[in-house]
A and B are shown apart, each in its own frame.
Chain A
Amino acid sequence: MRQLVIISGKGGTGKTVLTASLAAIARNKVMADCDVDAADLHLLLAPDIKQRDFFKSGKTAEVNKDICVNCGKCREVCRFDAINDDYVVDHVSCEGCGFCGLACPAGAIEMRENTTGEWFVSGTRMGPMVHAKLAVGEENSGKLVSLVRNKAKELAEKDGKDWVIIDGSPGIGCPVIASISGVNAALIVTEPTMSGLHDADRVVKVARHFNVPVRMVINKYDLNPEMAHDIEAYCRKNGIKISGKIGFDEKIVEAMVLGKTIMEYTENETTRTIKDIWRDLEDEIC
């Protein structure tokens, strides 16, 4: 059983579109959507939820105004400016450290557990999918990503699947780090722009920092073929294999509007390239 994550550094390069397209070709796999901040994979895979549960993580302080003696100790010790002068805790700023509750001489502060999201195990026309939704404005996305990863791996092992294919998120912070942990390879989707190359370089460094092998896909490469060549040169210089180059194709958006992956919509240069990419991944990743 092998695990592949699709990341990008920069947002909007086409991770989710590619992940869904690979889902349409790959056999015997479990899909995992680890972009829990702004999950989109379900828009193409139309999951039928079979199992769901709440995700609880972290705490928020609450001041009981009946017991509070207005001494201000909590406001004094809070390093996150989360308690205002009416002794109301701002849920967004509160980090749940509990310092205020421990320091309060009147015992007026309680720490309440946050329900910060929900996770799901679903069936799709392309096989099982594990996904999650972090409530807007919450933190601890890294932990929710780890949960999705673990459930997907467990499901794949239990059902004898060959692959876990993971849709990652943009950036390089904890959700990305959690989504690349322990995978066999990270496929980086980039675009032929200066921003794309700059950001891909950073995410390559993060993957290598955590000993994860990387491969590259250049998406929309014909929007600036010269820049695409620069990216190819960068890859050669850094020992990164390019799995494929996909041209800008309006049919991808046409298919998306209909809730389909391009693999189910048409047969053209793009679909052939994506099939080649999957063949490369199947043959080369160990």
Chain B
Amino acid sequence: MKICITSQGDNLESLVDPRFGRCRYFVIVDTDTGGVEAMDNMNRDGMGGVGIRSGQMMAEKGIKAVLTGNVGPNAYQTLSAAGIEVVTGVSGTVKEVIEKYKSGGYKTSPGPSVDSHFGTQGNSPV
């Protein structure tokens, strides 16, 4: 099955990005084949509803679980509607997260972990 981890970089040693909608990269991992694909997040500078857009994209790509730091209310609603498992409070490297997920080390989140606009950063990093 395909899972997605929000990431600050495009490889397995990259650290998890604590934001969902506006993360830097979506790293998509096929836990059956071991295939890994890092997608540049083109949504991240959008004006609004970015969490919704990113959530909808997960559904379109057939992702079954999203692992990230935080998810806002609109993104959570979108992911739940698509039947996608949401895991928040995730940190470490992408590689560590994959291992922990495979060994059943994460619990599903019952709801959003932050309010709206958590990830708004402007056009350039601090």
Q: Is the CB of B123 within 8 A of A150?
A: no
Q: Which residues of B contact A122 (CB under 8 A)?
A: none
- List which B44-66 residues lie within 8 A (CB) of chain A: 45, 47-48
Q: Per-position contact with A for B67-89: 1 when CB-CB < 8 Å, else 0?
A: 00000000000000000000000
Q: Which residues of B contact A51 (CB under 8 A)?
A: 126
Q: Which of B9-17, B23-31, B102-110, B111-119 contacts the other chain?
A: B111-119
CB distance from B36 to the nearest CB of A (A): 29
Q: Which residues of B contact A55 (CB under 8 A)?
A: 122-123
Is B120 interfacial (CB-CB < 8 Å)?
yes
Cα of A55 to Cα of B115 in the assembled complex, Å: 21
CB distance from A107 to the nearest CB of B (A): 23
Given contacts A142-B117, A146-B117, A150-B118, 6 further A-B contacts (CB under 8 A): A53-B123, A58-B47, A181-B115, A181-B116, A182-B115, A210-B115
CB distance from B68 to the nearest CB of A (A): 16
The DSSP consensus for interface residues of chain A is mixed
Cα of A178 to Cα of B115 in the assembled complex, Å: 10
Cα of A112 to Cα of B123 in the assembled complex, Å: 16
Q: Could you list 27 examples of A-B contacts with CB < 8 Å?
A: A53-B122, A53-B123, A53-B124, A54-B123, A56-B45, A56-B123, A57-B47, A121-B126, A140-B47, A142-B117, A143-B47, A143-B117, A143-B120, A146-B116, A146-B120, A147-B120, A149-B117, A150-B117, A150-B118, A151-B122, A151-B126, A154-B126, A178-B117, A181-B116, A181-B117, A182-B118, A210-B115
Cα of A189 to Cα of B20 in the assembled complex, Å: 35
Task: With A58-B47, A140-B47, A143-B48 as known contacts, state yes or no: A182 contacts B122, CB within 8 Å.
Answer: no
- Please, how many residues of chain A have a CB less than 8 angstroms from a CB on the other chain? 24
Cα of A51 to Cα of B122 in the assembled complex, Å: 13
The chain B residues found within 8 Å of chain A, CB to CB, are 45, 47-48, 114-124, 126
Q: Which residues of B contact A56 (CB under 8 A)?
A: 45, 123
CB distance from B65 to the nearest CB of A (A): 26
Cα of A158 to Cα of B120 in the assembled complex, Å: 17
Q: Which residues of A contact B48 (CB under 8 A)?
A: 143
Q: Which residues of B contact A163 (CB under 8 A)?
A: none
Q: Per-position contact with B for A246-275: 1 when CB-CB < 8 Å, else 0?
A: 000000000000000000000000000000
- List which A111-162 residues lie within 8 A (CB) of chain B: 119, 121, 140, 142-143, 146-147, 149-151, 154-155, 158
Q: Which of A119, A142, A150, A181 has the most CB of B within 10 A?
A: A150
Q: Which residues of B contact A178 (CB under 8 A)?
A: 117
Q: Is the CB of A150 within 8 A of B121?
A: yes
Q: Which residue of A lies closest to B46 (CB)?
A: A57
CB distance from B94 to the nearest CB of A (A): 22
